Structure 1
């Protein structure tokens, strides 16, 4: 199962780290508790639209960019899950056989 909140947390953490910001800095700028941001980044809490907008503002990234990145991650996870659920077809083993008839050998 694909968990949106986990992928969202991964994207937010990645964006924060790209900018070289600490949780404390984002917390102060977004006016959201450090612990709550940490839980969001770990995929343990859902972020409301208002909270997400505040975090994106603190990270100086458009909300649409974050949502697009999460959407792409969801699509990748879904594709992987669908591949894993495909049945594996049994293929007959190909056992080498000995040639029949006369064997001709030549020496060079």
Structure 2
């Protein structure tokens, strides 16, 4: 099962890492403890809307942008057969994609942790001999 707090945490972490910033830098700018920000990024804690807004501000992003990314990820997950249903702990599940160029895998590490991974398959080049 994909958890909202996990997807939010992944989106925040991706933005922070994309800016090459440390947890300490962002936690200081957002006025939140480093440990709590880490737990939010790992999907272990649910942040209030006020705290999410402060973290987004510290990252130079609008809350609506981050929540839009989260919404897109959840929407994609909902379309994938088997993604939002519980799977056995520690197992990985392959879900068929509508687009044959994308592979999706879900790993349920614990009841509170599921990881959704997507990858675009390389396109095959067709060469015709003359």
| Range into which the TM-score falls when normalised by the shorter chain | 0.7 to 0.9
Structure 1, gaps ≥5 residues long: 86-108
Structure number with larger C-alpha Rg: 1
Q: Which has the higher contact order (CA 8 A, sep 6+)?
A: 1
State the TM-score, normalized to the length of structure 2.
0.62
The structure with the largest strand share of the pair is 2
2:68 aligns to what?
Answer: 68
Report the alpha carbon displacement of residue 78 of structure 1 after superposing the two structures with TM.
Answer: 1.1
Aligned equivalent of 1:5 = 5
Indicate if the aligned counterparts of 1:6 and 1:42 stay in contact, CA closer than 8 A: yes
**Cα RMSD over matched residues?**
1.7
Unmatched runs of 5 consecutive residues or more in structure 2: 86-130
How many aligned positions are there? 85
How has the CA–CA distance of structure 1 residues 79 and 49 changed in structure 2, closer, same or farther, with 3 Å as cutoff? same
Using the size of structure 1 for normalisation, the TM-score is 0.74
Structure with a larger share of its residues in helix: 1
